[in-house]
Amino acid sequence: MITLSPIKRRLVYVFFFEILAITLTTFILIVLSGSDAQESLPLAIIIAIVAVVWNFVYNTLFEYWERRHQIKARTFKIRSVHAIFFEGGLTLVCLPLYMLWYGVGIWTALTMEVSLVIAFLIFTFIFTLIFDHIFTLPQQTKAVDCPT
């Protein structure tokens, strides 16, 4: 197991997550659009960039909202609302991209987006489990190293 500082851990997480996410997105877009990697890879990279930027902007705004409303705990309800609005915002950007890139209608674009959302729910869960097993949190290492 590897222990990194919180900032290095986040950077490593984002780097590996996005590399694998681009690969997964490219594969799914190839299957759903009938295109090839040469056509789908650039769009997968664009989507990854959009997702990273949206993640930063959205979470900054969400945390501002939490502070403004003095939210002390992220309950299941708050986490659910957070996830729904995050994915909704990303979908609003991605649907037109699919439509323009592949020249498809809204229903085909929606099928692409729903397929990617489902795939990413599974991917994110598995990736995070593996990542957390390899890259421990600093506080986990201290708890193991210090006998009681």
pLDDT at 147: 52
pLDDT band at 139 (very low <50, low <70, confident <90, very high): low
pLDDT at 118: 95
* Structure-block tokens of residue 140: 């986990």
Neighbouring C-alpha atoms within 13 Å toward the C-beta of 57: 10
Based on DSSP, count helices (H) and strands (E) in the chain, helices before strands. Answer: 5, 2
Spell out the residues 6+ positions from residue 22 whose beta carbon is closer than 8 angstroms to its own: 41, 44, 45, 48
Parse the chain into domains and list their residue ranges: 2-145
Spell out the residues 6+ positions from residue 93 whose beta carbon is closer than 8 angstroms to its own: 50, 54
Find out whether 111 and 94 touch, Cβ atoms under 8 Å.
no
| Residue whose token pair is 């990542």 | 131
Q: Dump pLDDT digits (tens) for 46-93.
A: 999 999 999 999 999 999 998 999 988 889 998 899 999 999 999 999
Q: Looking at 38-47, 50-59, 133-142, which range is the least confident one?
A: 133-142
